[in-house]
Structure 1
Amino acid sequence: MGLNSEEWVIASIGAIMAGGFSVGILSSSSAKACQVIAENTEMDFFVVDDNRQLQKVLQIQGSLKHLQAIVQYKEDLQVKQENLYSWKGFLNLAKAVPDDTLDKVVDSQRPNQCCTVVYSLASTGPSKAVMLSHDNITWTTAATIQSLCYKCPPEGQEVLVNYLPLSYIGAQIFDMWVAISVAGALYFAQPDALKGSLMDTLREVRPTTFCGVPWMWDRMYDAMKTRQLDSSGFWRMIDKWAMRLGLQTNRRRMSGHVHPPLCFRLAKKLTFDGAKKALGLDHCQQFFSMGLGLSRVTQEFFLSLDIPIFQLYGLTECTGVHTLSSYEAFQVLSCGKGLPDTHTKVPEEDENKIGEIYLWGRNIFMGYLNNKEGTEKKMDSHGWLHTGDLGFLDDSDFLYVMGNIKDTITLSSGQKIHPTPIEERVKLSIPIVRYAVVVGQDAPYLCALLTLKCQINSETGEPRDVLTSEAVAFCRKLRSQPTRLTDIILDRDPLVSDFISQSIEAINSEASSDGARIVKWTILDTDFSVGGGELGATMKLRRAAVTKIYQEEIESFYKDD
């Protein structure tokens, strides 16, 4: 339990090689959450990074009957007790263990044995302890490398930057296990990476592969739009030409045309190379988005800069990845195709061919620890994992994910609505909107909560009241002059409000039914954040939390009905 570091990785692998299993705990977890996890897994050893995390363990150690020792790997020990070790003191214990003893332990392990327990990042309800085997980890890592374009010595070396919590299995696979398998160099970002320092780290390290989350790509989009708006009129004209060419060329590549036009090299030199360098991605060959929610606007913006963002899909229960995009399999908004020798199906499709996504393969988990009933609900007798996510497969077996079954809104009429496609259209039609959350469970019609694009406080990571440069510039096009969110909310800016209303009406005109129309909307007084509770540890939207936090605003939609 602690921030990502080499000690975190060493401790995790060490636990596995010693014949035990590793359990990652988010550093933001409370002492009570730690106790629940420790008791459920019968934890023998706690490895923590600093005194703040140590204090959580000291609070609960009296109730942990299996606890043998605690190891702290950062800072000097401020507490003395018999079973507490510093990192150096803990490593020194190895001197008393003969190599042949360790070799026997390693040789006794089998592919089908559990080697790690990962707590799923549940958006609703308690998280579950997912058991993953040696085979789950090693096979998924090998299949991922086989499907992508990683360099290995002596031809070259991958350079990776880790900033997502390693207690998240996707970060473990792409940052930790892939780095080991291809002999890559793994750099750990600063603790405040998601508050703003990640860009500085990327510019210093210059990774060859980068895994972002949709939130991170959106922030990079903001940074690039600001950079372009700050440039001269001449360079804005050049960038516009180059980006139009970049988008056309990459769309042709998706259709099988591999040869770029002659002027593409000029566009690369004038615009694309500078944009990648500004982001710290000038050495990068592969760009990924982990997690759902990457908008078409963001994806096509980067595609126009010759940065194709490869989306992937996976749950903790399928070892973090099941389908992924690559240069050989890429379509905008698709999560790509399945790993080799895996299967994906979408039975029970509705009239729009959207149904629950089922997965099968060697990446599928062993089951939930101490939860046989939960395991049987998640995985059927034939080994198919029932994801709970909704989507469809196109004729070329590209997977498109449209949301989760739990997100489905049932109106009072009984009609079921998938909110994700509607929210995507809102963000596409209204460029100043960051998040759109459609609500209306058990109500007569749909409404929408909107947040506008605001700058981020680099010290706290929280959204500021100041609009992004892109949002300000867009308002100027509407002949409106706001620079702050409060300018729009408190002054009830009619120009912005009218534009949003007209855009919503245009979206409603294309709705598949009257029930899929947005009847009312409101702009919230802040953008979403981790600190506010609307986003999770990997910046994923927590829809249930949003509806709870903004319950008053939601109720006001229907008060006069």
Structure 2
Amino acid sequence: MPLKNYILRDHLGIFTIGEMVNRSAKVYGSKKALSVYRDEKWQYITYRELGERVRFLAKALQGAGLKMGQTCAILGPNSPEWGQAYLAITSLGAISVPIDPALKPHEFKHILEDTDTNFIFVAQKFLEDILEIDEELSFKKIIVLDSFEKSKFSNKKVSSFEVFLREGQKQKDKFKKPKLKDIAAIIYTSGTTGKAKGVMLTHENIMSDVALVYQMVDLEPGESILSVLPIHHTLECTGGFLLPLYAGLNIYYARSLKSREIIEDLRTSKASVMIGVPLLFQKMLEGIERKVKQAPLPRKTLFKGLLKVVELAEKVGKDEEAAKVLFAKLREKAGLGHLKYFVCGGAPLPPFVPEKFRKLGIKILQGYGLTEASPVLTLNPVFRPKDTSVGVPLPQVEVKVESPNENGVGELCFKGPMVMKGYYKNPEATKAVIDDEGFLHTGDLGYIDEEGYVYVCGRAKNVIVTPAGKNVYPEEVEFELDRRPFILESMVYGIPTERGGEEVAAVIVPDYEEIDRQFSGKQLTEEDVKALIAKEVKKAMENVATYKRVKQFIIWDEELPKTSTRKIKRHHVLPVVLNQKGN
């Protein structure tokens, strides 16, 4: 039977982004909206101030010549100014083009050229790159998001954020407002499987996703959220920026991605929620476990004893209540006393991570989505998450499994108001992923259980077919490999065999820090490390069927290249490893 009544409340309405900003400014007024650590202290602006600053910025952009339907890029790390720029661009009816700061200058240029962008907000660290690109593309206005020395730049197009904002105060207060069907953003996918495409998202796409997620979470005005993920990515922009503003939350911008500072910021902000990717939560869990190992024997014994009590309570369905009570002091000390839950997305979450956190009284809600869907499509219910599932479809979202096999596994396809308008200047690619019924074909394989929970098995393009015709999902094998203490991460792939089909192989990144800790004082050779990893692979493969087992592996000595949401860029790694001999 499908799970019912997972919707906690009605949404507040579906508005354009600009209308949402105006509503929040009126409703939440003096509540804190955006908080950032600067000049050795936390500073904030209220919702009323945010609404005013966004209006001035929009007027300044209009005065500089930006018109409805034209594009304006934003390039820089998370900051209140980044958010204000995004809100101003979209309030004006122009189209925001968020750019990943991790890209190379020639990739910046491609996006700017492809979208005919003449206006850009840019962080000072990228200003010289943009000025070089300006020599070819000739921008109309370049606004620097953070402080910079104007005297060093003779280009009259360049303006500081605050000076530009003040110019808006002098401009007329009228501009045409966009409609829900108008494009709000063009977001270039990071491209885990090839060349990036520009995803066109309308105001309705984005704000319907915001409103429908709001129905499934119990966040209230005045609570805080810690913003950690890069805001140019749709998951953070929708879930960690627009949703909090819609709900009246105070957004704290994390000082860095260091686990220690994130914990400190969670404590300072008293955050109710934080959105992260699996690797972030795994690192936090490792930090907790490391501290327990280093604790004095009495404290370590007490911790293990409390865990035993929680495990006993689990047998009668009372583990959540027991964990909340027994580990309350630990959570408070760790800065997680105010936390309602973590939300995880962007990549598959190993089930042991939410399971271990839950035993400490900390809940992780896993969700699923794509940039092409604004991005959230499913989310685990607050009151009954399943560790191995990506949750249930949001309200108004339909899901179907295309061409299921005997186990019910097929391609996951979704339909809903958040599904993109299409790929920019690429109708053929759009037609390839959105069918005549309006379903978005995700390219992910999965199934749905009897309660309506969705499960993702892996990418259709990544599936390895053995000579016997068996399907192997790389993510399933990677999960077992990555659990081994001396393996930092892995990438499983298929190697064609002479008898047809593929053999399972892997790229292994050793966890050299852990190896050094365990073999302190011993000088391990390259061959020693290979032998150690071979044992780890053999041990990991005991947990999978024979046909799924890794037959050969290659050592990779540095972190595998990833997208901004920590998905491995397989198309970057495969050409290299296929030219090497496995072990």
Question: One fold, TM greater than 0.5?
Answer: yes
Distance in 1 (CA, whole Å) between partners of 2:519 and 2:410 is 43
- Residue correspondences, number: 503
- 1:332-481 to 2 correspondence within 5 Å? 332-411=387-466, 416-428=471-483, 430-443=484-497, 444-453=502-511, 465-467=512-514, 481=518
Residue 482 and residue 547 in structure 1: after superposition, are their counterparts in 2 closer, same or farther (change >3 A)? farther
Cα distance in 1 for partners of 2:531, 2:93 equals: 65
Local SS of the residue matching 1:381? coil
Report how far residue 488 of structure 1 moved. 7.6
> Considering only aligned residues, what root-mean-square deviation do their CA atoms show, in Å?
2.6
Partner of 1:80: 154
Distance 1:372 1:433, change over 3 A: same
The alignment status of 1:556 with 2:569, answered yes or no, reads no
- The within-5 A match list for 1:65-214 is 67-76=139-148, 77=150, 78-99=152-173, 101-102=174-175, 105-106=176-177, 109-152=178-221, 157-190=222-255, 192-194=256-258, 197-214=261-278
CA 1:113–1:496: 2 relative to 1, 3 Å:
closer
* SS of the residue 1:440 aligns to: strand
Alpha-carbon contact 1:488-1:496 (below 8 Å) kept: no
Deviation at 1:546, TM superposition (A): 3.2
Distance 2:412 2:129 in 1: 39
Cα distance between partner residues in 1 of 2:79 and 2:171: 25
- Is 1:547 aligned to residue 574 of structure 2? yes
The verdict on how the C-alpha distance between 1:230 and 1:349 changes in structure 2, with shifts beyond 3 A counting, is same
- Asked if 1:22 is matched to 2:96, the reply is yes
Q: What is the CA deviation profile of residues 255-307 of structure 1, one whole-angstrom value per residue up to 9, with x for unaligned ones?
A: xx6984xxx2xx6455x224323442221112111122321222221121121
CA distance in 2, matches of 1:309, 1:353: 27
The 1:451/1:485 distance shift into structure 2, 3 A limit, reads: farther
Q: TM-score, normalised by structure 1?
A: 0.83
Shift in CA distance, 397/75, structure 1 to aligned 2, threshold 3 Å: same
Deviation at 1:498? 4.2
Alpha-carbon spacing, 1:283–1:484, altered in 2? closer, same or farther (3 Å): farther
Note the C-alpha offset of 1:536.
2.1
Structure 1 position 551, deviation (Å) = 4.3
Are the aligned partners of 1:451 and 1:523 in contact in 2 as well (CA < 8 Å)?
yes
Match of 2:127 in 1: 54
Distance 2:277 2:536 in 1: 30
Structure 1 residue 317 displacement after superposition: 0.5
Unaligned runs of 5+ in 1: 454-464, 473-480
Query: Alignment partner for residue 524 of structure 2, among 465, 487, 503?
Result: 487
- Measure, in 1, the Cα distance between the counterparts of 2:329 and 2:301: 15
Say yes or no: does 1:520 pair with 2:552: yes
Distance 1:546 1:244 in 2: 43
Farther off after superposition, 443-452 or 377-386:
443-452
Distance in 2 of aligned mates of 1:259 and 1:72: 48
TM-score by length of 2: 0.80
Structure 2: how far apart are the matches of 1:195 and 1:268?
A: 23
CA contact (8 A) 2:77 2:123 kept: yes
Separation (CA, whole Å) in 1 of partners of 2:275 and 2:405? 33
Distance 1:484 1:287 in 2: 39
Assess, with a 3 A threshold, how the Cα gap between structure 1 residues 74 and 143 changes in structure 2: closer, same or farther.
same
> Following TM superposition, by how much is the alpha carbon of 1:374 offset from its aligned partner in structure 2, in angstroms?
0.7
Cα distance between partner residues in 2 of 1:423 and 1:483: 28
Answer yes or no: is the 8 Å Cα contact 1:329–1:337 preserved in 2. Answer: no
Q: Deviations over 1:289-336 (max 9, x none)?
A: 112232122222112112121100000011110000132341111100
1:534 positional shift: 2.3
Give the drift of 1:58: 1.0
Contact 1:410 1:441 in 2 (8 A): no
Query: CA separation in 2, counterparts of 1:488 and 1:234?
Result: 38
Q: Which residue of 2 aligns with 1:507?
A: 543
| Per-residue CA distance 1:455-479 (angstroms, 9 max, x = gap) | xxxxxxxxxx4218xx95xxxxxxx
Report the CA distance shift for 1:19/1:495 in structure 2 as closer, same or farther (over 3 A). closer
Contact in 2 for aligned 1:26/1:167 (Cα 8 Å):
yes
In structure 1, distance between residues paired with 2:275 and 2:576 = 30
1:238 is matched with which residue: 302, 318, 336?
302
Shift of 1:11: 0.6
CA contact (8 A) 1:437 1:448 kept: yes
Structure 2 unaligned regions, length at least 5? 1-74
Contact 1:466 1:483 in 2 (8 A): no
**Maintained 8 Å contact 2:141/2:157:** yes
| Percentage of matched positions with identical amino acids | 24
The SS at the match of 2:245 is helix
1:224 equivalent in alignment to 2:288:
yes
